[in-house]
Amino acid sequence: MVGIGERYGSFFRKMPGIEKNVDEYLSDNFSNLLKAYKIARKKDMQDTIDDVEKKEEIVEDLSKWRDKTKPRVKDIEDRVKRLETKYGVK
């Protein structure tokens, strides 16, 4: 993945003198440009990846819990059906 610094550096390398102006402009306005154009930095991407990994762990835990409780739920449903049948409810 090529960063923004490498991109603009390679573009302006062929134009002597202009790189200093671009460096100054980017230094002064970098955070505003990131916000205005919704540019993600590597740190932003890593934060997003970390969040997704945490959510995946939560989903895995919920899936395990669901699988673990399925037999118990089935047993309770069967008991309820037997009681409904026994007492003529429903």
pTM above 0.75, yes or no: no
Beta strands (DSSP E) in the chain are none
Can you give the pLDDT at residue 70?
A: 97
pLDDT digit string, tens, across residues 24-74: 888 888 888 878 877 778 888 899 999 999 999 999 999 999 999 999 999
Burial readout 50-59 (b: 16 or more C-beta within 10 A, e: otherwise): eeeeeeeeee
Query: What token pair was written down for 24?
Result: 């100054």
